[in-house]
Structures are given as structure tokens and as C-alpha cells.
Amino acid sequence: QVQLVESGGGLVQAGGSLRLSCAASGRTFSSYVMGWFRQAPGKEREFVGAMSWNGGSTYYADSVKGRFTISRDNADKMVYLQMNSLKPEDTAVYYCAARTDWDTKGDPADFGSWGQGTQVTVSS
């Protein structure tokens, strides 16, 4: 199993940008599909996007498509979420997660490893 630690959250005005980072530990980081999820107060955990093992494939939720970008660096065992044109409705705790297989369902139950989350707050 891989251990994950997110960072980079904070308070930003609407229209601004943030980049979240997720550091992984373990020797087989490149074996994992990496995903990002978010959870706002009183709401279910929501899929944001995911990237395949070597970064060759990505998919995103419609709500963030064109604004958010996932990248990864397997050598440094890092995955990133670049968030642009932020909106107040993007306010949530953001989590990175890992799984070993690939599909485009974005079901959090398919991800076996999770970070502790980082808070993103977008003010209007």
C-alpha cells in the first residue's frame, strides 16, 4: 500500500489559482493510478480527476474539465492538481487517492489508499 500526504491548500479569491501536491511513499508509485477527490461540508465525496500509471491517460469530472489539470512525477513520487479559474463551489477538502487498476468510473470505493486531505477555500 502507498502512503499519501497532500499539501498546498489555502484561501484564494474566485478566479485565482492553486496547485495541490500529493507526496507518496513506497517503492512502487509508478504502479498506481492516482486520483483526486473533494468533499464539501454536508456532501458526498466527489471525483475530480485521475491519471494513469505513466501519465498517458487522464479523465476529469465535467465540473472541473478545462480548469483543473493533473500531473505526476514518478521519479519524485509526486502527483499534482493545478486548479485555475477557481469558483466558490470548488471549496472543499481535497484528497489524493491511489488504486492499481484503471477505469473511468471515478468511484471512490475503487481507490484503496487515501491522504488526509487539504482544505481549499475559494472566496467570492
Question: What pLDDT was estimated at residue 93?
Answer: 98
What span, in angstroms and rounded, lies between the C-alpha atoms of 60 and 27? 27
Give the tens place of pLDDT for each residue, 69-85: 999 999 999 999 999 99
Whole-number Å distance between alpha carbons of 97 and 40 = 17
| pLDDT score for 1 | 83
Q: Is the pLDDT of residue 27 over 90?
A: no
User: Distance between CA atoms of 107 and 123, rounded to whole angstroms?
Assistant: 28
Residues 96-118: tens digit of each pLDDT: 999 999 998 999 999 999 999 99
CA dihedral for 97, 99, 102, 104, sign (positive or negative): negative
Query: What order do you get walking across the sheet with 18-25 strand by strand?
Result: 3-7, 18-25, 78-83, 68-73
Choice between 28 and 67, residue whose per-residue pLDDT is larger = 67
Mean pLDDT of the chain: 96
